[in-house]
Structure 1
Amino acid sequence: MSSPGSYISELTSLLGPSCVSVEEPVLAVHSTDKWFASARPDVVVFAESSEQVSALFKFASERRIPVTPRGAGVGYVGGCVPLQAGIALSLAKMNRILEINEADGVAVVQPGVITGDLQKAVKERGWFYPPDPASLKECSLGGNISTNAGGPRCLKYGVTRPYVLGLEAVIPDGTILRAGGRCHKNKTGFDLVGLFTGSEGLLGVVTEATLRLIPHPPLRAMLSVGFATFAEAAAAVQRILGSGHLPSALEITDSFTLRAARDYVGESVPEGEAHLLVEVDGQENTVPLELQAIESLLRGLGAVSISAAVGDAECEKFWTLRREFSYSLRATGLIKLNEDIVVPRGRLVELVSFASKLQEESGFPVACFGHAGDGNIHVNVMVPDMEDPAQRERAEVALDRLFHHVLALGGAITGEHGIGIAKKRWFPEAIGAGALEVHRRLKAALDPLGILNPGKFVP
């Protein structure tokens, strides 16, 4: 591999000085994400076109220089940490919405577009881009595609993949490819769109995406519901779905998270030791009726408090509170190891019971909240100091116990954050030997030199 001093000037000549930085503050920002791991790159490249990405990859391949792609840097698994130094490739400047086509029901975007900005732009035209990670105001669409990101509305609308109709990507030898297109049905060849969606920057870099839009529901409404116990809230989730309702979101929260929110947000946090957030959307004449029916059902299940919201402005007040849960946990002063595990929906109570036992065993608080409707619960192990070797070891033991238990329940070790570095050591067990070998073969076929995002979950 070339030394930094021997290639940075050449790289600057190739791409232009405005695209290349070795300034210390820039290197520091690009050394980490929302997880605690950090590794300093030699140089940061701010790509402005797919042609620049292609030129960069050819340059890096010739010199065997590692390249670590980066979206908005708000991931939770160290996916954009440049473990082997080299080049940190930022897509942040490729941030244009290229087209919103209502007739075709598509938006064409560059990877650096912020998810919330696209949602706002299409909503103004009466259209809807449903995937909604909690970080939608700061995460990028390229990053969402890289991790196949989800969010609360996945219950009704699904994760990112169903909304990616086509993409342009650059693979490590510099080849620019296009897969899919703007047709809402397309079975032509292998599903290359699916291959790159969720690949976490190990196979190539997405430089453009054609995304599916749907008509925006005319009305949405919500219920904020308090329960005396988590078990009662989890049972309510099953009853709502079993009664024929399909909410757009069903969010559940445990007692530790509620206590942290009461300290951070104040008395606006609902009563009870568990909280359920229910959102429904649809036509103006049907939504109030469905909301009333669900409220009646929940009152019959022993809810200790219920508040309703109708319309975007009122619903956003409930969502603002929900989005504060993560910040409330951070405000405790503890390091939040945010594990986005998934269990079969019928095992939610078992999971939270296990989390309570894990808290006793480890001595660390464990907070649970998340997407109850699809079993994707964020289990947060709260650690005072990950720099303390003893605490870090205890935290690793706790995570090991958590992931093995989740797999034993028939669950998955990640629902939306990805594997990155954080979950690398559990990845082989999670997918099995045969699937691991196929991952290795795909990585070797598209990145034979191993220069793209090296050190992550595929050996």
Structure 2
Amino acid sequence: MKLPPKRTTWISSTIAGGNRPAEADDPFEELDEQEDAPAAEASPSDLADDLAELLSDSQVSRLDEVLATHATDKWYASHPPDVVVFAESTDDVAKVLTYAYERGIPVTTRGAGVGYVGGCVPVEGGIALSLARMTRILELNPADGVAVVQPGVITGDLQKAARELGWDYPPDPASLKECSLGGNIATNAGGPRCLKYGVTRNYVLGLEVVLADGRIVSCGGRVHKNKTGFDLVGLFTGSEGMLGIVTTATLRLIPRPPCRAMLAAVFPEFAAAAGAVQGILNSGHLPSALEITDGFTLAAARNRLGADRLPDGNAHLIVEVDGRPRAVASEIEELEELLTTLGATRIDRADTEEACEAIWQLRREFSYSLRDTGLTKLNEDIVVPRSQLVELVAFARQLEQETGIAVACFGHAGDGNIHTNLMVADYHDPSTRATADAALDRLFSWVLDHGGAITGEHGVGLAKKPWIHQALGETGLDVHQALKDALDPDRILNPGKFLD
């Protein structure tokens, strides 16, 4: 067959959905108005035949339901790929990228598909390259303090395997039972324990990465200190699939703390709970987690779980400490006394593993409780300096009053990463969506003006693309573009995202 020529465009239909600021440049306008691309010299079925010959029939699909699954994530944008390829090895990924690079075919990598920003939506069609079958934990080595994994390994599965050996992999996004380590690396994911233990980047020692042209680079390694050359591990971690595709990761493990305990404290107002966060840290404590929740979220949780599961109050603070048993017992006593002096009206204490897990399960229900409201949840993972927590929620209440859109705030108070959720009724109505998008624009502008960031762990993807110039600045964006041009000059990797 005659292979397709260098790509001019591979978009075959318009993209659906998407947040956008009311007065900013619309990143979807070109897609919305574009006419169908001219026919390529090879059809998508020819492309699938080529890839099946390159790999195997069982690794390539053009079934409608498979294309639909790989057209979207948990956000609202959707665009089908022309073909889905299921890689099973580094060699598979290298073959696909070599083939795609020579022909200018776009390739969008997909992990577990549970992102919130449209990061794995193949907006230019082409190949959706799934890593979901690369699920092997290749090595667990407590002697070296490392795990070597493929990118499709589910985060919770690695944690479980490490803990069975008395070790731990600390990063724990709320979706840890369904998100993949490759996706965590792509977005530099965090979680509640970032305050004490850090984010994904702090645990990535080495990576094997397939570049856009099919070459394979190994960076970092299995040692815990390494200053050889540039920090390429840091470059690829958080790059959202736009600089290369991670096929193997060497991750740092730490000894698992043998004991933990938790406090769940209720406060009459959010300001008091936020003040308690500073009070805890100022007193010399470094909890493994500090999670805060506002009144709207608590009300939704009571509706889902029952009023008896969550007592009255307009703010909720979860404090977790871990370490040696006697140290934990002493610290949890001190913290309980401290929270009482800081205004907590009720404190529930968990001293056993089962009781701690029950509190965490309650915390994981908050997001589902907001979904149960029937409103569209625009989940924004903004970050502000900790000193701005009260001001953030005050701004959210002001935004709520001025727009009529409820705003729910909860999340990682210890590092200022507060999930600020716009709860929108009838989001698909154009006028309602315009109001919501204008509210998002105000939220992001406020966050940037107060020294914050528009994303702490979800990534930029499509959802936050309209604000990337404001967030990075002119020179910062130029540096990003230069790196992209150096590693992916034809821009075949995850095209259409925030660098296009």
Give TM-score scaled by structure 2 length: 0.91
What is the aligned counterpart of 2:309 among 268, 280, 291? 268
Aligned to 2:10: none
What is the one-letter code of the residue matched to 1:20? V
CA distance in 2, matches of 1:99, 1:347: 42
Aligned to 2:50: 10
Check whether the contact 1:111–1:140 (CA below 8 A) recurs between aligned residues.
Answer: yes
Structure 1 residue 385 displacement after superposition? 3.0
What is the aligned counterpart of 1:390 among 431, 440, 444? 431
Structure 1 residue 361 displacement after superposition? 1.7
**Mapping 1:199-348, distance limit 5 Å:** 199-266=239-306, 267-348=308-389
CA distance in 2, matches of 1:190, 1:34: 34
Aligned to 1:142: 182
Structure 1 residue 52 displacement after superposition? 0.6
CA distance in 2, matches of 1:189, 1:281: 36
- Does residue 193 in structure 1 map to residue 233 in structure 2? yes
Check whether the contact 2:301–2:366 (CA below 8 A) recurs between aligned residues.
Answer: yes
CA distance in 1, matches of 2:218, 2:126: 27
What is the aligned counterpart of 1:61 among 101, 111, 114? 101
Check whether the contact 2:292–2:315 (CA below 8 A) recurs between aligned residues.
Answer: yes
1:88 match: secondary structure? strand
Aligned to 1:124: 164
1:199-253 per-position Cα deviation (integer Å, ceiling 9, x unaligned): 0000011000000000000100000000000000000000000000000000000
2:382 match: secondary structure? strand
1:240-270 per-position Cα deviation (integer Å, ceiling 9, x unaligned): 0000000000000000000000000112123
Moved more, 267-276 or 438-447: 267-276
What is the aligned counterpart of 2:148 among 108, 111, 120? 108
Check whether the contact 2:140–2:147 (CA below 8 A) recurs between aligned residues.
Answer: yes
What is the aligned counterpart of 1:366 among 407, 426, 432? 407
- Does residue 378 in structure 1 map to residue 400 in structure 2? no
Structure 1 residue 388 displacement after superposition? 1.5
1:206 match: secondary structure? strand
2:309 match: secondary structure? coil
- Does residue 75 in structure 1 map to residue 115 in structure 2? yes
What is the aligned counterpart of 1:410 among 451, 455, 473? 451
CA distance in 2, matches of 1:82, 1:27: 10
Check whether the contact 2:134–2:153 (CA below 8 A) recurs between aligned residues.
Answer: yes
CA distance in 2, matches of 1:270, 1:439: 48
1:346 match: secondary structure? helix
CA distance in 2, matches of 1:417, 1:362: 25
What is the one-letter code of the residue matched to 1:271? D
1:137-183 per-position Cα deviation (integer Å, ceiling 9, x unaligned): 00000000000000000000000001000010101100111000000
CA distance in 1, matches of 2:67, 2:93: 19
Check whether the contact 1:116–1:137 (CA below 8 A) recurs between aligned residues.
Answer: yes
Aligned to 1:26: 66
1:217 match: secondary structure? coil
What is the aligned counterpart of 1:38 among 78, 91, 116? 78
What is the one-letter code of the residue matched to 2:319? V
- Does residue 430 in structure 1 map to residue 471 in structure 2? yes
What fraction of aligned residue pairs are identical, expressed as a percent?
67
1:285 match: secondary structure? helix
Unaligned ranges ≥5, structure 1: none
CA distance in 2, matches of 1:358, 1:81: 30
CA distance in 2, matches of 1:328, 1:59: 45
What is the one-letter code of the residue matched to 2:311? P
Structure 1 residue 12 displacement after superposition? 1.2
CA distance in 1, matches of 2:432, 2:92: 44
Check whether the contact 1:64–1:451 (CA below 8 A) recurs between aligned residues.
Answer: yes
Q: How many residue pairs end up in the alignment? A: 459
Structure 1 residue 360 displacement after superposition? 1.3
Give TM-score scaled by structure 1 length: 0.99
What is the one-letter code of the residue matched to 1:438? V
1:284-334 per-position Cα deviation (integer Å, ceiling 9, x unaligned): 111011001000011112211100001221100000000000000001011
**Cα RMSD for the two superposed structures:** 0.8
Structure 1 residue 386 displacement after superposition? 3.0
Structure 1 residue 5 displacement after superposition? 3.3
Moved more, 53-62 or 2-11: 2-11
- Does residue 420 in structure 1 map to residue 461 in structure 2? yes
